[in-house]
A = this chain, B = another copy of it.
Amino acid sequence: MIHMAKAHVLFSGGKDSSLSAIILHNLGYDIQLVTVNFGVLDSYRHAEETAKIIGYPHKVESMDRELIEKSVDMILKDGYPGNGIQFVHKQVLEIISEKYDVIADGTRRDDRVPRLDHSEIQSLEMRKNIQYVTPLMGFGHKTLRNLVNNYFIISEKESEELLKSDYETEIRELIRQRGIDPLEYFPKHIQSRVIGLKR
């Protein structure tokens, strides 16, 4: 099998971005994990740890803090996080697409946000001359649960206790810094992080 190009995988340290990287590696891609950071918290350190566990090179891409400030404005105005998170993700893809040829993320079949629709994907790929790949898009939640159990040892905790390297972590901190309780916008939910490999 010939080597494929390098795939840059947007990486939060969670099970979905981890599994996406593994699928692409199995297909012959060189993997470069990329965690974006907006300078609010050094939350990328969690992804850094997970990257070591799953064994792929990892780097941090610093993004303009203004982007996540704008996302927080949207969330506070809307009263719910959907549009704000969607906005950040699209902006991140636009920026990352200027630098890399093959870009992947862990979007799943049953995810609602962040998620690009088909015409947004085609527009991104054509405008930037890149390939955008979402290896989990054909997998439902039951299948993914089986795959995740098969590959990973997972730590599951309440979102307030488990720090990840996703958009939500920095967004919540920024809301807190504005003197507002982020729980009003992000109700408690179970977060998961990959803490070991079963292979």
Contacts of A2 in B (CB 8 A): 150, 198
Q: Which of B5, B131, B140 contacts A132 (CB 8 A)?
A: B140
Q: Is the CB of A133 within 8 A of B138?
A: yes
A191 an interface residue at 8 Å Cβ cutoff? Answer: no
What 1/0 flags go to A115-143 for Cβ under 8 Å of B?
A: 00010011001000001111111111011
- Which residue of B is nearest A151, CB measured? B1
Known contacts A26-B23, A27-B147: does B142 contact A131 (CB below 8 Å)? yes
A60 an interface residue at 8 Å Cβ cutoff? Answer: no
Contacts of A27 in B (CB 8 A): 23, 26, 147, 150
A146 an interface residue at 8 Å Cβ cutoff? Answer: yes
Q: Which of B121, B143, B150, B198 contacts A140 (CB 8 A)?
A: B121
A107 an interface residue at 8 Å Cβ cutoff? Answer: yes
Cα separation A125 to B143 with both chains bound (whole Å): 11
Cα separation A5 to B150 with both chains bound (whole Å): 11
Report the minimal beta-carbon distance from A30 to chain B, rounded to whole angstroms.
13
Contacts of A136 in B (CB 8 A): 138
3 interchain residue pairs of minimum CB distance? A137-B138, A134-B138, A26-B26
A interface residues, Cβ below 8 angstroms from B = 1-2, 4-5, 23, 26-28, 102, 107, 109-110, 118, 121-122, 125, 131-140, 142-143, 146-147, 150-151, 198-199
